[in-house]
Amino acid sequence: MMKNNHLIEIVLIEDDPMVQEVNRMFIEKVDGFAVTGIAATGEQGLEKIIALKPDLVLLDIFMPKKNGLDLIRQLRQEQIDVDIIAVTAANDIHTIKTLLRNGVTDYVIKPFTFERLQKALNQYKNVYLQFHQAEEVSQDKLDEVMAKNKQQRKESLPKGLHTHTLNQIYAHLEQIDIAESAEKIGSEVGLARVTVRRYLNYLVTIDKVEMELSYGTIGRPIQRYKLKK
């Protein structure tokens, strides 16, 4: 059974006070969750986890002194029973693989929307409920839970957008230093301009890409895109 009147208890570890408050409000807007502790450093976070024994930790990776990854490794080495959702500004494959290998249940890339965090929490809640309602779980039930969770992850992008294509465009943007038009990016990655523009506009909405207007001598201005620094 879940503790605290059926609420999933979370310790929030984030060094920026303003981000702390925003994340706390985000979490408590999602049904079934409560923030029972907040820490600003990895050291404080470890103390909170040991003292409060939460179900879940929402953990910022980049922090001074003991960073989030160091804390994750310590929690795993000491076999402290807690689940972790990592929050990181890094989106490189090495960091993500390292997080997954150290047993995080999900990772949310900064800056993120309330909807993305809500999906991460609801995915966690789905698995949590399934695993805490029975002493044992059959192979069929485990497969059902994992398949549902995997499908929810696939649906985290807006309808019509695909992770592979998004990654393809993002990888190209990482290789350029100056803003390029959707047409030029499309020619480089082998995709139609209209397709590329849809993905670029999505990246703009999640604050990963900035769009600038380039004015020529005649005609309408050209929209050019580049990654935000």
The correct answer on CATH 1.10.10.10 for the domain covering 163-227 is yes
Q: What is the pLDDT of residue 149?
A: 54
pLDDT over 70 (residue 145): no
pLDDT over 90 (residue 5): no
Q: Which CATH number fits domain 3-154: 3.40.50.2300, 1.10.10.10, 2.20.25.570, 3.40.190.10?
A: 3.40.50.2300
CA distance 44 to 57: 13
pLDDT over 90 (residue 10): yes
Task: Report whether 85 contacts 11 (CB < 8 A).
Answer: no
Q: How many CA atoms lie within 13 A of 20 on its CB side?
A: 16
Residue 109 pLDDT class (50, 70, 90 cuts)? confident
Residue type, 227: L
Q: What is the pLDDT of residue 4?
A: 44
Tell me the pTM: 0.59
Q: How far is CA 204 from CA 38, 97, 138, in A?
A: 31, 25, 43
Q: What is the pLDDT of residue 53?
A: 95
When the pLDDT of each residue in the chain is averaged and rounded to a whole number, the result is: 83
Residue 135 pLDDT class (50, 70, 90 cuts)? low
pLDDT over 50 (residue 26): yes
CA distance 92 to 155: 21
DSSP state of 79: T
pLDDT over 90 (residue 96): no
How many helical (H) and strand (E) elements, i.e. helices and strands, does the chain have? 10, 8
Q: What is the pLDDT of residue 188?
A: 93
Q: What is the pLDDT of residue 162?
A: 81
Q: What is the pLDDT of residue 166?
A: 87
CA distance 25 to 10: 12
Across 29-59, b (16+ Cβ under 10 Å) vs e yields: ebeebbbbbbbbbbebbbebbeeeebbbbbb
3-state helix, strand, coil in the chain (%, to 5): 50, 20, 30
The candidate with the shortest Cα–Cα distance to 14, out of 54, 78, 57, is 57
Q: What is the pLDDT of residue 62?
A: 86
pLDDT in tens, 74-84: 998 898 989 99
CA angle 123, 129, 130 (to 5 degrees): 95
pLDDT over 60 (residue 32): yes
Task: Report whether 8 contacts 2 (CB < 8 A).
Answer: yes
- Domain ranges for the chain: 3-154, 163-227
Domains 3-154 and 163-227 in one fold: no
